[in-house]
Amino acid sequence: METFKKLKQFYWPYRKFFFLSVLSLIFVAGITVVYPVILQKTIDEVIRGEEYNLIPYICGIFILLMIVKGIATYFHQYLGEYFGISSVFTLRDELYKKLQRLSFKYYDNAKTGDLMSRLTADVEGFRFFLSFGFSELIRITLLIVISLSVMFYYSIPLALVTMAAMPFLAVVVYSFDRRVHPAFRRIRKSFGKLNTRVQENISGMNTVKSLSRESFEIGRFSDRSEDYRSKYITTSNIWARFFPLMEFIGNVCVVALLAYGGYLVIEGSLQLGELVAFFSLVWYILGPLMNLGFVINLFSQSKASGERLLEILEAEEDIQEKEDPIVEDRLQGHVTFEDVTLTYTKDDDSALKHITFDAPPGKTIGLIGATGAGKSSITQLITRFYEPEKGRVLLDGTPVQEFGLKTLRKNIGFVLQESFLFSTTIKENISYGNPDATIEDVMDAAKRAQAHDFIMEMPEGYDTLLGERGMGLSGGQKQRIAIARAILIDPSVLILDDATSAVDMETEFQIQKALQEVMKGRTTFIIAHRISSLKHADEILVLEDGEVKERGIHDELVENGGPYQRIYDIQYQDKEKILNASNA
């Protein structure tokens, strides 16, 4: 029960609904056990005792009990469901909040499909046990206790004979639980991997089709599906062997009951009606005990689901705010790195090594280098997506850890290399970081990002509904909307992470021209592979293997004979050769 103890905070506030459901269940169980007693009275007193005047009273009592049981059953089921649904509503809410708080470091290793499986299938598995499993366990306990009490009232020897089978049933149930829980844990993991395969395939469908890898993807999906199938079949095999064994032990108990009970009736120490009642009551014990396997099945699934949910809830939040952080509406945007080293994973090579630079307000810093050189890592430290291993990152002379995360990130406009757009209108995508912005503000930001003209050509203009991930727009159009979104929050620091990589040269020129005005008064970081995007930067940092190899302005670096000049030669001399060849 350790898993349920850890998750107690989510269901305990709704305990009154659970206890009211259990109270209703007590009425249901009590009335259920009364039926054999009525049957015994009917046989021994009405039929054998010929007291036919009792028939109207027995019928009336029976009808009244059925009405009460029906009402109690309604409240039991409704309140039980209300308890479970309300509990997982809070749980799902907290899981989603936790996912929002977790840093990039967590998502570097997390699989989207697996997370979706946890927030849907695992939450639902946990809910079903809360709604049904707990109360079913109590129902089984109540039926056994009440039935045994009535059986002992009728005949102690016969009750003891009935109880003789229970230790064997208990051993079978215990053995079943020990084997079925690990099996369900494996099923949940396999299902998460299956979901991940589906999610990755759908997300990368363009790549799959462009490379004609449909057959390969079908094979990979089949492998995951086969793994899920085999694990489920293994678990079903455990389950299938449990029921026949339970039923065999139960039937042996019934045979012993009929043999010894018949002897007691013949001997005269037990009435026929009491034996018939005994026979009914024994199934109120054996039936729930057999059903205990189903409850254990639910418990094992719920426990496996709960453990996977706890893995999210207990995940380390390595990026946390101070108790009393600095909260300001507007920062100046003075960025300073002091001997900063960053390592993403322990024992791996450092992504950044001893980075030091100063970016005063209003200055533009260019970052260039090969893929994996550390360009994006620098900007991700400014926004505290990661924490440096050594050194300090300062904003306006204050370590970024001193600021509230909302304050810090509201002052930083971030345009990622791969622009993500939501399945909503263009207006809502642009105003995502500033939902209170007017349509005039949105249009102004779009104009600065050179997006207004193509937006107005769309059927509904700014109210055009976009498809998933901006489906229907070109890469350049998506990128310009993302730039407009960053402009609209009016940041003091603007980060363009290869923001013009998806546009043609003409559009890039238009965006750069528009951004010249936008960048005034803001500290701007431009990550680019094209030197044309960095020519006007106040300082360019050339990175290799996480280190700054060169720094300076464009004209200086072109003459240095270092890495920057090599990049320049590749990008410009090759163009000149092509141009000369075409002229010749």
326 vs 331: CA distance, rounded Å = 11
The residues that bridge with 550 in the sheet, in sequence order, are 542
Residue 164 C-alpha from the chain's centroid: 47
194 DSSP 8-state letter: H
With a CB cutoff of 8 Å and minimum separation 6, the contacts of 294 are 136
Strand pairing of 398-399 and 523-527? unpaired
Strand pairing of 390-395 and 335-342? antiparallel
Q: Rounded to 5 degrees, what are φ and ψ at 346?
A: -55, 140
* Contact yes or no for 474/454 (Cβ under 8 A): no
408 vs 393: CA distance, rounded Å = 12
Largest CA distance in the chain: 124
CATH architecture of 418-490: 3-Layer(aba) Sandwich (3.40)
Question: What is the pLDDT at residue 507?
Answer: 66
Per-residue pLDDT of the chain (584 residues; tens, 9 = 90+): 788 888 888 888 998 999 999 999 998 888 888 888 888 788 877 777 777 777 888 888 888 988 998 999 999 999 998 998 898 888 988 988 888 888 888 887 777 777 888 888 888 888 888 888 888 888 888 888 888 888 888 888 888 887 777 777 777 777 776 777 677 778 877 877 787 777 777 666 666 766 567 788 788 888 888 888 888 888 888 777 777 777 787 778 778 878 888 888 888 887 888 888 888 888 888 777 777 767 777 787 788 888 889 988 988 888 888 888 888 888 889 999 999 999 887 777 888 999 999 999 989 999 998 888 888 889 889 988 888 989 999 999 999 999 988 888 889 888 777 777 888 888 998 998 888 889 999 999 888 888 888 899 888 889 988 876 666 787 778 888 888 888 888 889 988 887 666 566 676 676 666 667 677 788 999 888 878 778 888 999 999 888 999 999 988 888 888 888 888 888 776 555 445 545 44
What is the CB neighbour count within 10 angstroms for residue 65? 17
CA distances from 76 to 4, 296, 544 (A): 22, 21, 67
- Radius of gyration of the CA atoms of the chain, in A: 36
Helices (H), 391-438: 405-410, 426-430
CA distances from 446 to 196, 319, 422 (A): 36, 33, 17
Q: Domain spanning 2-313: which superfamily?
A: ABC transporter type 1, transmembrane domain (1.20.1560.10)
535 vs 528: CA distance, rounded Å = 11
pTM beyond cutoff 0.75: no
Question: What is the pLDDT at residue 156?
Answer: 86
Give the angle 87-90-92 at the CA atoms, nearest 5°.
105
Question: What is the pLDDT at residue 344?
Answer: 85
Structural tokens at position 16: 């009154």
Residue 211 C-alpha from the chain's centroid: 31
Q: Where are the domains of the chain?
A: 2-313, 418-490
55 vs 392: CA distance, rounded Å = 90
Helix (H/G/I), strand (E/B), else coil: 368: strand
Give the H/E segment covering residue 356. Answer: strand 352-359
Give the H/E segment covering residue 491. Answer: none
- Nearest Cα neighbor of 75 from 18, 32, 127 is 18
487 vs 517: CA distance, rounded Å = 11
HEC per residue, 441-458? HHHHHHHHCCCHHHHHCC
With a CB cutoff of 8 Å and minimum separation 6, the contacts of 143 are 29, 32, 33, 284, 285, 288
* Contact yes or no for 307/122 (Cβ under 8 A): no
- Nearest Cα neighbor of 284 from 73, 35, 69, 33 is 33
- Nearest Cα neighbor of 165 from 239, 248, 241, 238 is 248
29 vs 134: CA distance, rounded Å = 15
With tokens 């946390």, the residue in question is 320
- Nearest Cα neighbor of 489 from 416, 423, 425, 415 is 415
Four-residue CA torsion sign, 194, 199, 204, 209: positive
The residues that bridge with 395 in the sheet, in sequence order, are 335, 398
The residues that bridge with 412 in the sheet, in sequence order, are 493
Structural tokens at position 261: 């009970």
18 vs 134: CA distance, rounded Å = 9
369 vs 350: CA distance, rounded Å = 16
Question: What is the pLDDT at residue 42?
Answer: 82
328 DSSP 8-state letter: -
350 DSSP 8-state letter: P
